[in-house]
C-alpha cells in the first residue's frame, strides 16, 4: 500500500485525462494518472500490414467484447440496439476514433430553454469558446474558417488548412449544392501540414485502426508527451482501478487498484478525478459503495449511470458508376453538413442531426458490405461483381441528437465480471420516439443527397449496431444536486474533492462528435484547478 499522497489522482489517460494532465503540468501540484491500458506503438498498428483490415475484426475492433485485449473489460450490451465501442490505452478511444472534430453549437447548451427538452448546461458556448480554441491548437485541427453553421463565433479559426476533399468529397458536395443544403470541409483532428514535430496525413485511409503515420491527433501523440515533459505529472500504465475510497469525513481519499503485475495497491490522494468515459465512470462510482454511499459514490441524486446518451447513427451508402478514389484520405474526415441541425417543429421532431460523409472502404470491408447487399456472388462472376463495387461507394452517416432519458442506464451486471472480478457494466438502452422520427428523417434526406450526387442505387442501415463510441450523460452536470451529479466545474455535489471530466457530465448530447467538447471542458476545469488548488492544499 502506497503512503505517498498525491495532490491530484486522475483515473484514465484518454481524451479528457490527457488534457487535464497537460493543463496541470508545471504547476505546484503533484499529479498522477493511472491507466489500465498501455502505451501504443505505431510500428505495431495494423496499418503497417497488408491485411490491416482483418485486425479491425479482432484485436483492433471497436467493441471490447470482440477485441478481448488484456486491458479491456467486458460490457453487457445485449439490452441495447447499440453496442459500446471504446479502447483502453494511453490515448483511450482517440486511438481508434476517426478524428472528426466539430464543436457543439451555441443552441446545444440551451435545449431546455429553446425546445423544452433535456436540460440546459450550467455554462454557455461563449464560456467554452477559448478552451475550444486552445484544444484545437494543442490537437492540431485541420479545417476551413468561415463555416456558416457557426455564425455567432467569427473567431473560430482552425490552426491548419482543411484535409483535401478528394474526388469523393467533390462529388458529394455537388449533391448538396444541387439541393441548396449546407456543407463544409470537416474540422479534423488530423494534421494536413507538419505540426509540432509530427508529419501530415498521407491519405492511407487506415484511421480506424490506429495511425502509424502519427498524423491523427490521438492524445498519446499530442497532450501526453508535453504533459510528461512539463514536470509534476506521472503516468502509470497497466493499473486497473477497482474503487474510490472515502474517509470518515465523506471525502475521497484515494483508490484501490491492481498494478501491471496484478498486485493490489492503494493510492492516496487529496483530489480524485475520473476520466473513464460515460460507461467506465459510472461503473467505478457504482462499485465504490460504502456505509456513507450505499448506492454508489456521489449518487445521492440516484442519477449516476442514468441518462445514457449514445448518438444513434444511421448509414446510407450510394453506389456510383465511376470510381471515386474514396480509399484515399481520412476515413471520417471529408465534408459534413449541418443543414438539419437546429430544431424545426415542422419536421415532426425536436432538435436535429448532422451528416458526416465517409470515404470509401478498403478491399476487405468493401467485399463484406457487398456480400451483405447480395451483390457479391461466388463463382465465375465474383471478380466482375466486385469490380463494380470497389471504389464506387460513398456513404453519409446521420449523427442524431440523443435526448437524455433516465431509463437509459449503465448499471453493474450481477454476473459478468472483468479479469479481476470487478462487475462489468450492463447497458439498458432504447431509442425514444423523438430519436426514431429524427433518424428516419435523416436517412431519407441522406438518400436525397446521394441521388443528387449521382448514385445509381442506395442502401440504408437505419441504426448501426457497433456505433456506441459517444458515451455521454451518466453523471450529468448542473446547479441542483437533486437533478445532477456534478457542478459546472465537474466537481461532485456529494463529494467535494471528487471530479468527473469525461463525457459523463454532458447534460445533453448535441448532434456532433463530442471529443472536442470533452477536452475543452477538461481544459476549463484544469485551468481552475491550476489556479485554486495549490493554495487550498498548502
Using DSSP's 3-state secondary structure scheme, residue 115 falls into helix
Report yes or no: 217 and 54 within 8 Å, Cβ to Cβ.
no
What lies within 8 Å, CB to CB, of 10 at 6+ separation is 17, 20, 21, 31, 32, 33, 34, 273, 275
Tens-place pLDDT, residues 9-52:
999 999 999 999 999 999 989 999 999 999 999 999 998 998 89
What percentage of the chain reaches a pLDDT higher than 70? 99
What mean pLDDT is predicted for residues 161-173? 96
Residue 2 has pLDDT above 70, yes or no: no
Report yes or no: 197 and 179 within 8 Å, Cβ to Cβ.
no
Q: What is the CATH number of domain 145-209+313-401+432-462?
A: 3.30.410
Q: What are phi and psi of 530, to 5 degrees?
A: -60, -35
How much is the pLDDT for 1?
45
Q: Enumerate the domain spans of the chain.
A: 1-140+217-307+410-426+471-538, 145-209+313-401+432-462
Distance CA 296, CA 293 (A): 5
What mean pLDDT is predicted for residues 392-412? 97
The band of 538, judged by pLDDT with boundaries at 50, 70 and 90, is low
The band of 394, judged by pLDDT with boundaries at 50, 70 and 90, is very high
Distance CA 260, CA 82 (A): 32
Q: pTM, whole model, 2 decimals? A: 0.97
DSSP characters over 356-395: EEE----HHHHHHHHHHTT---SSTTHHHHHHTTTT-EEE
How much is the pLDDT for 537?
78
Q: Number of H helices and number of E strands within the chain?
A: 11, 16
Residue 267 has pLDDT above 90, yes or no: yes
What mean pLDDT is predicted for residues 348-352? 96
Residue 243 has pLDDT above 70, yes or no: yes
What percentage of the chain reaches a pLDDT higher than 90? 93
Tens-place pLDDT, residues 273-332:
999 999 999 999 999 999 999 999 999 999 999 999 999 999 999 999 999 999 889 999
What mean pLDDT is predicted for residues 515-530? 97
Distance CA 367, CA 360 (A): 12
Distance CA 285, CA 242 (A): 10
Question: Strand order of the sheet with strand 409-417?
Answer: 76-79, 423-428, 409-417
Residue 259 has pLDDT above 80, yes or no: yes
Residue 255 has pLDDT above 80, yes or no: yes
70: number of Cβ within 10 Å: 11
**Longest C-alpha distance within the chain, in Å?**
77
Which option is the CATH number for 1-140+217-307+410-426+471-538: 3.40.50.300, 3.30.465.10, 3.50.50.60, 2.170.190.11? Answer: 3.50.50.60
What value does the mean pLDDT of the chain take? 95
Amino acid at each position: 500500500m502506497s503512503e505517498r499522497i498525491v495532490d491530484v489522482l486522475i483515473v484514465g489517460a484518454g481524451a479528457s485525462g490527457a488534457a487535464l494532465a497537460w493543463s496541470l503540468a508545471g504547476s505546484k501540484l503533484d499529479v498522477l494518472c493511472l491507466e489500465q491500458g498501455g502505451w501504443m506503438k505505431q510500428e505495431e498498428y495494423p496499418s503497417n500490414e497488408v491485411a490491416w483490415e482483418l485486425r479491425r475484426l479482432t484485436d483492433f475492433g471497436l467493441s471490447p467484447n470482440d477485441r478481448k485485449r488484456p486491458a479491456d473489460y467486458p460490457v453487457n450490451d445485449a439490452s441495447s440496439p447499440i453496442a459500446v465501442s471504446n479502447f483502453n490505452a494511453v490515448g483511450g478511444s482517440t486511438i481508434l476514433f476517426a478524428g472528426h472534430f466539430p464543436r457543439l453549437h451555441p443552441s446545444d447548451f440551451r435545449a431546455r430553454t429553446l425546445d423544452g427538452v433535456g436540460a440546459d448546461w450550467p455554462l454557455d458556448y461563449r464560456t467554452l469558446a477559448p478552451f475550444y480554441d486552445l484544444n484545437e491548437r494543442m490537437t492540431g485541427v485541420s479545417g476551413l474558417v468561415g463555416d456558416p453553421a457557426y455564425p455567432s463565433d467569427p473567431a473560430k479559426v482552425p490552426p491548419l488548412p482543411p484535409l483535401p476533399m478528394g474526388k469523393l468529397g467533390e462529388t458529394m458536395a455537388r449533391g448538396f449544392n444541387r439541393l441548396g443544403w449546407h456543407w463544409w470541409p470537416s474540422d479534423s483532428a488530423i494534421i494536413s501540414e507538419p505540426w509540432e514535430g509530427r508529419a501530415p496525413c498521407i491519405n492511407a485511409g487506415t484511421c480506424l485502426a490506429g495511425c502509424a503515420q502519427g498524423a491523427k491527433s490521438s492524445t498519446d501523440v499530442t497532450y501526453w508527451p508535453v504533459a510528461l515533459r512539463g514536470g509534476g505529472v506521472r503516468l502509470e500504465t497497466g493499473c486497473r482501478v477497482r474503487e474510490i475510497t472515502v474517509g470518515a469525513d465523506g471525502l475521497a481519499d484515494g483508490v484501490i487498484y491492481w498494478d501491471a503485475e496484478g498486485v493490489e495497491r492503494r493510492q492516496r490522494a487529496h483530489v480524485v478525478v475520473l476520466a473513464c468515459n460515460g460507461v467506465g465512470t459510472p461503473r467505478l462510482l457504482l462499485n465504490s459503495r460504502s456505509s456513507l454511499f450505499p448506492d454508489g459514490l456521489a449518487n445521492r441524486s440516484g442519477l449516476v449511470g442514468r441518462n445514457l446518451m449514445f448518438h444513434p447513427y444511421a448509414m446510407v451508402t450510394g453506389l456510383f458508376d465511376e470510381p471515386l478514389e474514396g480509399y484515399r484520405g481520412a476515413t471520417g474526415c471529408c465534408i459534413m453538413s449541418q443543414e438539419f441541425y437546429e430544431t424545426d417543429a415542422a419536421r415532426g421532431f425536436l432538435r436535429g442531426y448532422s451528416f458526416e460523409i465517409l470515404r470509401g472502404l478498403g478491399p476487405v470491408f468493401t467485399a463484406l458490405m457487398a456480400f451483405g447487399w447480395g451483390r457479391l456472388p461466388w463463382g465465375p462472376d465474383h471478380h466482375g461483381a466486385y469490380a463494380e463495387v470497389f471504389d464506387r461507394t460513398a456513404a453519409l452517416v446521420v449523427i442524431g441528437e440523443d435526448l437524455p432519458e433516465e431509463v437509459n442506464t449503465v448499471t453493474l451486471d450481477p454476473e459478468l465480471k472483468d479479469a479481476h472480478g470487478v462487475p462489468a457494466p450492463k447497458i439498458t438502452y432504447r431509442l425514444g420516439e423523438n430519436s426514431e422520427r429524427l433518424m428516419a428523417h435523416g436517412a431519407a434526406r441522406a438518400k436525397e443527397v446521394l441521388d443528387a450526387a449521382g448514385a445509381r442505387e442506395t442502401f440504408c442501415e437505419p441504426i448501426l449496431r457497433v456505433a456506441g463510441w459517444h458515451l455521454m450523460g451518466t453523471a450529468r452536470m448542473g446547479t441542483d444536486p437533486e437533478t445532477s451529479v456534478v457542478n459546472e466545474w465537474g466537481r461532485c455535489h456529494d463529494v467535494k474533492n471528487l471530479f468527473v471530466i469525461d463525457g459523463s457530465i454532458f447534460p445533453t448530447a448535441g448532434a456532433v462528435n463530442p471529443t472536442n467538447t470533452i477536452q475543452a471542458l477538461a481544459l476549463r476545469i484544469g485551468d481552475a484547478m491550476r489556479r485554486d488548488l495549490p493554495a487550498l492544499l498548502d
